[in-house]
Structure 1
Amino acid sequence: MPGSPLARLGDLDATGALAITLPDGRAGFLVRVHGHLHGYENRCPHRDSRLEIEAHRFLAEGGELIQCAHHGALFLPENGECVAGPCQYQSLEPLSLTIDDHGGIHLASE
């Protein structure tokens, strides 16, 4: 698989989430919920701002939903849809990801 990985699966072990920088310089993040990896552009559809205040903290208490730390919006990890908060029914911008044989996480378009 060409290109360096954005991260490795093990990088998500501590908090289940990880802030990343995409190859084009945009901010992104990865979350692992119930063993499934999801990636999104790190931009809340409500205010066009990053979701986290603390580094690598994207999941609400309980680890089931993605949360915007600025205004509390909650997003489904499997599709990025906002299910509570001021951006309800809007969605996060997804990243298409692949995982190589060594646990490296790549954008699918690489």
Structure 2
Amino acid sequence: MSPPTDAIAGAARPIAHLADLETSASIGVRLSDGRDALLVRVHGRVSAFENRCPHQDVPLEAEPDRFLEAGGELIQCAMHGALFLPEDGECVFGPCQGDHLRQIPVSVDDDGRIHLAVE
């Protein structure tokens, strides 16, 4: 995970910038309430999820900021190999198939700053 970046509840403070995410990239961030989250950018679209696998409630990455499988198309749980769609967090392969990652609403402003809706 990248050095902790706090998202303030209800605030418009950016948590990251598009420049932090290459075309197919991922980073970990820490939310103001202490939860860990991940940002992924696949095919230009940014999504955010809590960094917990629905199968056994473990962090998804084995190495900091490594949330995508080798092809850069799907989010992967390093513990059991479960694969998740970056659009909505649905598990499409693995022990939790059909379950979803907890999605966090995300927006990107005109300057490329990424904001999360954190309550």
Q: What is aligned with 1:46?
A: 55
Q: Deviations over 1:15-64 (max 9, x none)?
A: 61000111211000000011111110000001101000111000011111
Q: 2:101 aligns with which of 71, 81, 92?
A: 92
Distance 1:71 1:43 in 2: 13
Q: What is aligned with 1:10?
A: 19
Q: 1:67 aligns with which of 67, 70, 76?
A: 76
Structure 1 runs (4+) greater than 4 angstroms displaced: none
Q: Is the alpha carbon distance of 1:59 and 1:17 closer, same or farther for their aligned partners in structure 2, counting shifts above 3 Å?
A: same
Whether the aligned pair in 2 keeps the contact of 1:15 and 1:57 (CA below 8 Å) is: no
Q: Is the alpha carbon distance of 1:62 and 1:42 closer, same or farther for their aligned partners in structure 2, counting shifts above 3 Å?
A: same
- Residue 94 of structure 1: how far off its partner (Å): 0.2
Q: State yes or no: 1:104 paired with 2:110.
A: no
Whether the aligned pair in 2 keeps the contact of 1:82 and 1:91 (CA below 8 Å) is: yes
Q: Is the alpha carbon distance of 1:32 and 1:15 closer, same or farther for their aligned partners in structure 2, counting shifts above 3 Å?
A: closer
Q: Deviations over 1:59-106 (max 9, x none)?
A: 011111100011100001111000110111100000101112221111
Q: Is the alpha carbon distance of 1:15 and 1:55 closer, same or farther for their aligned partners in structure 2, counting shifts above 3 Å?
A: farther
Distance 1:74 1:63 in 2: 11
SS in 2 for 1:10: helix
* One-letter identity of the residue aligned with 1:65: L
Q: 2:36 aligns with which of 21, 27, 50?
A: 27
| Unaligned 5+ runs, structure 2 | 1-10
| Unaligned 5+ runs, structure 1 | none
Q: State yes or no: 1:36 paired with 2:45.
A: yes
TM-score, L = length of structure 1: 0.91
Whether the aligned pair in 1 keeps the contact of 2:24 and 2:44 (CA below 8 Å) is: no
After superposition, the CA RMSD in angstroms is: 1.6
Distance 1:52 1:109 in 2: 22
